[in-house]
C-alpha cells in the first residue's frame, strides 16, 4: 500500500480591491488592488485613484490585517517611483510577504491498494458516524472526510468497500454487492437484511454465480416463510409481487409456474432473471433513471455485515 500525506495550511488566494494605507509623506488618496497567491503579492494601482501630493520616495504601508494576515509580518510596503501632474503616482515598487493560509491545517491522505483491478476493502477503524463518504464514480475514488476534523480526508483510489467498527459498506453496486442486494430485494422485499447481504457477498466474492446465490435464497427456510409455502405458485407470487409491485393474476403467474414444473427453468435462474430486470434495478436504486448515469445506491453504498 502506498500512502501520500500532504499537510499545509489552506491557502488564501484572493484579490483585495481598493486598499490603502498610511503614507510616509503628504500624499493622499491612492488605492491599490492587491492579489495574493500562496503568499506572494501582485500590486496594481487603481487607475481611478492615483492620489495627489505624492513625491518620489514616499512609502505607503498597507497593513497585513487588510490583506488577510497580521501586521507587521504581512504588511505590503509600496514605494513611489515617479509621479505625474499634481503628485499622482505614475510608477511604484512593492515589498511584502502575505499570509500563506488561514491557519487551518489541511491533511489529505491518498491510499492506493496493493491489488489494482480487484475488490479492495479499507478499514477506517472507527464508527461510521465519524466519517462522511462521497463516491467519485468517474475517477473510482472513495472520498472520506473525518466528521471530527473536516480538514482531514482520505482519497481511497480503487477501493469498493469500507469497514467501520459498527458496520461495513459496499460501493460495488454494479458488482457483487449490488447483485446480492437485487436478489434479496426481489426474493424477500422490504429492507435488505445486512447479515444476508454479507453472506451473499461472501459467496459471490468466492466465485459463486448470481444464479447459484439465488438458488440458495429460494431454497431457504427464510424464503419459504416469507412466501407462505415452498411450492412453485408461492415462489412465483412472492417474486412477482416484489419485482412488479403487485401480485400476479393466475393468468400472469401460470407461465412461470409451468416453466418451473416442467423443468424448463429453475427457481434460482428465474429469481436471478427477475432481479436483473432494468426497470426493477432502477426502482431499487441500483441503476439511474435517465438522464442519471448511476442510481442512488452508488452514493450511499450498501450496508452489510461481513460473513
Q: How much is the pLDDT for 290? A: 77
Sign, CA torsion 143/148/149/152:
negative
Query: Among residues 277, 276, 281, 285, which one has the least CA distance to residue 210?
Result: 276
Q: How much is the pLDDT for 1? A: 44
* Residue 191, number of CB atoms within 10 A of its CB: 8
Taking only the tens place, the pLDDT of each residue in 18-30 is: 999 999 899 999 9
Q: Are residues 187 and 298 in the same domain?
A: yes
CATH number, position 270? 1.10.3130
Q: What is the mean pLDDT of the chain?
A: 92
- Residue 132 confidence (pLDDT) above 50: yes
Residue 152 is assigned to a structural domain of this protein? yes
Q: How much is the pLDDT for 131? A: 93
Which residues span the domain enclosing 244?
176-304
Confidence of residue 114 (pLDDT cuts 50, 70, 90): low
Of 101, 124, 155, the position where a domain reaches its end is: 101
Q: Are residues 222 and 248 in the same domain?
A: yes
Check residues 297 and 147 and name the one with the higher pLDDT.
297
Separation of alpha carbons 267 and 256, rounded Å: 10
Instruction: Name the 3-class secondary structure at 4.
Output: strand
- Residue 8 confidence (pLDDT) above 90: no
Rg of the chain in Å (alpha carbons)? 33
Residue 251 is assigned to a structural domain of this protein? yes
Taking only the tens place, the pLDDT of each residue in 89-112 is: 999 999 999 988 766 667 778 888
Q: Are residues 129 and 184 in the same domain?
A: no
**Count: domains in the chain:** 3
Residue 108 is assigned to a structural domain of this protein? no
Q: Are residues 117 and 213 in the same domain?
A: no
Q: Are residues 217 and 257 in the same domain?
A: yes
Q: How much is the pLDDT for 197? A: 98
Q: Are residues 148 and 228 in the same domain?
A: no
Taking only the tens place, the pLDDT of each residue in 148-175 is: 888 788 899 999 999 999 999 999 999 9
Q: Are residues 206 and 278 in the same domain?
A: yes
Residue 66 is assigned to a structural domain of this protein? yes
Q: Are residues 124 and 185 in the same domain?
A: no
Q: Are residues 221 and 291 in the same domain?
A: yes
Of 148, 166, 184, the position where a domain reaches its end is: 166
The contacts found for 299-302 with CB under 8 angstroms, 24 or more apart, are 299/134, 299/135, 301/133, 301/135, 301/162, 301/169, 301/170, 301/171, 301/173, 302/169, 302/170, 302/171, 302/173, 302/177, 302/178, 302/181, 302/192, 302/197
Q: Are residues 160 and 93 in the same domain?
A: no
Q: Are residues 236 and 180 in the same domain?
A: yes
Show the cell assigned to 21. Answer: 494605507
Q: How much is the pLDDT for 291? A: 81
Residue 65 is assigned to a structural domain of this protein? yes
- Residue 147 confidence (pLDDT) above 50: yes
DSSP classification of residue 158: T
Separation of alpha carbons 220 and 222, rounded Å: 5
Q: In a 10 Å sphere around its CB, with 0-12 CB exposed, 13-18 middle and 19+ buried, how is residue 79 labelled?
A: middle
The stretch 193-216 carries a mean pLDDT of: 97
Residue 1 is assigned to a structural domain of this protein? no
Q: How much is the pLDDT for 7? A: 61
pTM, 2 dp: 0.69
Residue 130 is assigned to a structural domain of this protein? yes
Q: Are residues 121 and 241 in the same domain?
A: no
Taking only the tens place, the pLDDT of each residue in 239-248 is: 999 999 999 9
Residue 106 is assigned to a structural domain of this protein? no
Q: Where are the beta strands (DSSP E) in 97-178?
A: 101-112, 121-123, 131-136, 141-146, 152-157, 161-163, 168-170
* Residue 206, number of CB atoms within 10 A of its CB: 9
Confidence of residue 255 (pLDDT cuts 50, 70, 90): very high
- Residue 49 confidence (pLDDT) above 50: yes
Show the cell assigned to 202. Answer: 461472501
Of 61, 80, 101, the position where a domain reaches its end is: 101
- Residue 257 confidence (pLDDT) above 60: yes
Taking only the tens place, the pLDDT of each residue in 283-300 is: 999 999 878 778 999 999
Amino acid at each position: 500500500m502506498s500512502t501520500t500525506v500532504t499537510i499545509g495550511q489552506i491557502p488564501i488566494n484572493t484579490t483585495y480591491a481598493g486598499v490603502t494605507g498610511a503614507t510616509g509623506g503628504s500624499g493622499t488618496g491612492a488605492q491599490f488592488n492587491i492579489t495574493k497567491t500562496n503568499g506572494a503579492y501582485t500590486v496594481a494601482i487603481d487607475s481611478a485613484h492615483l492620489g495627489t501630493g505624492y513625491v518620489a520616495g514616499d512609502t505607503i504601508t498597507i497593513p497585513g490585517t487588510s490583506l488577510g494576515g497580521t501586521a507587521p509580518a504581512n504588511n505590503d510596503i509600496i514605494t513611489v517611483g515617479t509621479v505625474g501632474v499634481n503628485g499622482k503616482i505614475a510608477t511604484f515598487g512593492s515589498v511584502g510577504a502575505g499570509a500563506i493560509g488561514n491557519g487551518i491545517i489541511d491533511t489529505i491522505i491518498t491510499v492506493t491498494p496493493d491489488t489494482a483491478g480487484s475488490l479492495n476493502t479499507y478499514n477506517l477503524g472507527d464508527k461510521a458516524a465519524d466519517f462522511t463518504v462521497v463516491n467519485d464514480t468517474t475517477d473510482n475514488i472513495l472520498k472520506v472526510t473525518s466528521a471530527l476534523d473536516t480538514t482531514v480526508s482520505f482519497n481511497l483510489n480503487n477501493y469498493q468497500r469500507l469497514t467501520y467498527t459498527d458496520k461495513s459498506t459496499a460501493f460495488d453496486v454494479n458488482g457483487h454487492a449490488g447483485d446480492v442486494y437485487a436478489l434479496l430485494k426481489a426474493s424477500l422485499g422490504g429492507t435488505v437484511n445486512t447479515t444476508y447481504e454479507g453472506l451473499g457477498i461472501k459467496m459471490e466474492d468466492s466465485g459463486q454465480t448470481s444464479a447459484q446465490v439465488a438458488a440458495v435464497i429460494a431454497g431457504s427456510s427464510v424464503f419459504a416463510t416469507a412466501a407462505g409455502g415452498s411450492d412453485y405458485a408461492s415462489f412465483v407470487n412472492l417474486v412477482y409481487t416484489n419485482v412488479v409491485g403487485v401480485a400476479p393474476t393466475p393468468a400472469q403467474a401460470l407461465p412461470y409456474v409451468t416453466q418451473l414444473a416442467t423443468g424448463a427453468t429453475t427457481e434460482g435462474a428465474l429469481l436471478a432473471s427477475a432481479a436483473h430486470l432494468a426497470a426493477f434495478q432502477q426502482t431499487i436504486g441500483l441503476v439511474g433513471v435517465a438522464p442519471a448515469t448511476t442510481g442512488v445506491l452508488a452514493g450511499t453504498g450498501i450496508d452489510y455485515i461481513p460473513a
